[in-house]
A and B are shown apart, each in its own frame.
Chain A
Amino acid sequence: MSNLISEVSAYAIPVLIFIILGYAWLKGVNVYEAFVEGAGEGVTTILRVFPYLVAMFMAIGIFRSSGAMEIFIMLLTPMAETVGIPAELIPLALIRPLSGMASAGILSELFKVSGPDSLIGRTASTVVGSTETVFYTLSLYFGSIGISKVRHTLWAALFADSVGFVASIAICRMIFGD
């Protein structure tokens, strides 16, 4: 199964490129010129996003390295445990909305301690797969077009993310628990 998946992943992008270019070629599109024209937008898109990335990286960096993050985790852990959320998952739950790279790091750490195939390892994997870097995505997407009034987006996104988090724990307990 996992072999098949990694095989499929290895082919996904090349096949996609082949289909996009092949289809356009058959339709008589000048594929080279079209590609170059579109690729030119890459840098302008990044330039619009750049200041928001600096702002986000700085804020998250300060929050994590100051020790504030750990204090939050310490405060939240007993509360989470009383409602049945495993303590190991609390750091993940807090970091996940802020940074994709940091949560990937936390996931790897967790695997080292508990193993990727343990119940907690599988649950953590499902949590990371079913939640998203809400703050990061929000600031990037809205920032890039100059939207400052985000209305209900942050609340709705965070709520959906917590549903993903809780659902992951419940689903994994049902599927993988003994």
Chain B
Amino acid sequence: MVNIVWALLIFVGLLTAAALGNMENVTQIILDSAIDAAELCLKLSGIYALWLGLMRVAQKSALVDFLANKMTILMKPLFPDIPLKHPAMGSMAMNIMANVLGIGNAAAPFGLKAMSELQNLNTQKDRATNAMCMFLVINTASVQLIPTTVIAIRSAAGSIAPAEIIGSTLLATILSFTVAIAVVKKLERYF
């Protein structure tokens, strides 16, 4: 599926550029985007190292287990196939917390770690399990308590009340989160 979307973006883009005589610009962007990706990776590797380092400390002190335990009521119905004591539960709990609190740059390293732990339980290595699908969708449809990035952009734009959108965002995300869970649960039988 990603395969089709990816190829379509490129084919449609290239054909449009040819039709509009925009090729020179596109060529530059193609080369720039590869460099941008490398630069972003270099920066992110520092951020990932920081959070994964802290996560290991929190694992060794059993703080992660403690957190996962506290979130059992939420996690157990969402991920019925994953044993409660499995390390994936801890990583997913950390990822969900980071997402809700708006620490976006911590959510990704925790999430990627959770994914590789979920893969250990997967018997068909190229096919997503129900738990993976659920985890991914609640990542993209996470409840946002503090939308940090948006508040920062509003602040920079000179808003008189940058944090004013916290309430509306919370309401909208609670709604999309609930719908997301319902849709994933409903669809997992058919795919």
In the assembled complex, B73 has its CB within 8 A of some CB on chain A: no
Task: Give B contacts to A, CB under 8 Å.
Answer: 1-3, 5-6, 9-10, 12-14, 16-17, 20, 22, 25-26, 28-30, 32-34, 36-38, 40-41, 44-63, 101, 103, 108-109, 111-113, 115-116, 118-119, 125-128, 132-133, 136-137, 139-142, 144, 146-151, 153-169, 171-173, 175-177, 179-180, 183-184, 187-188, 190-191
User: Within the assembled complex, what's the spacing in Å between the Cα atoms of A37 and B54?
Assistant: 10
Q: From DSSP, what is the main secondary structure of chain A's interface residues?
A: helix
Task: Give A contacts to B, CB under 8 Å.
Answer: 1-2, 4-6, 8-9, 12-13, 16-17, 20-21, 23-24, 26-27, 29, 31, 34-43, 45-46, 48-50, 53-68, 71, 100, 104, 107-108, 111-112, 115-117, 121-122, 125-126, 128-135, 137-142, 144-157, 159-161, 163-164, 167-168, 171-172, 175-176
Q: Which residues of A contact B60 (CB under 8 A)?
A: 24, 27, 29, 34
CB within 8 Å for A138 and B30 given contacts A108-B153, A151-B133, A172-B168: no
Are B40 and A61 neighbours in the complex by a CB distance under 8 Å? no
User: Within the assembled complex, what's the spacing in Å between the Cα atoms of A77 and B149?
Assistant: 27
Are B144 and A130 neighbours in the complex by a CB distance under 8 Å? yes
Q: From DSSP, what is the main secondary structure of chain B's interface residues?
A: helix
The 6 A-B residue pairs whose C-beta atoms are closest, nearest first, are: A38-B56, A42-B49, A39-B53, A129-B147, A160-B180, A24-B61
CB within 8 Å for A58 and B30 given contacts A34-B57, A129-B150, A175-B168: yes
User: Within the assembled complex, what's the spacing in Å between the Cα atoms of A43 and B30?
Assistant: 25
User: Within the assembled complex, what's the spacing in Å between the Cα atoms of A117 and B157?
Assistant: 10
User: Within the assembled complex, what's the spacing in Å between the Cα atoms of A163 and B183?
Assistant: 11
Q: Which residues of A contact B12 (CB under 8 A)?
A: 63, 66, 68
Are A39 and B52 neighbours in the complex by a CB distance under 8 Å? yes
Are B127 and A117 neighbours in the complex by a CB distance under 8 Å? no
User: Within the assembled complex, what's the spacing in Å between the Cα atoms of A34 and B36?
Assistant: 32
Are A130 and B169 neighbours in the complex by a CB distance under 8 Å? yes
Are A35 and B16 neighbours in the complex by a CB distance under 8 Å? no
Q: Which residues of B contact A4 (CB under 8 A)?
A: 163
Known: A38-B55, A140-B108. 10 other contacts (CB 8 A): A6-B162, A35-B57, A43-B49, A57-B33, A57-B37, A61-B33, A108-B157, A111-B154, A139-B2, A146-B119
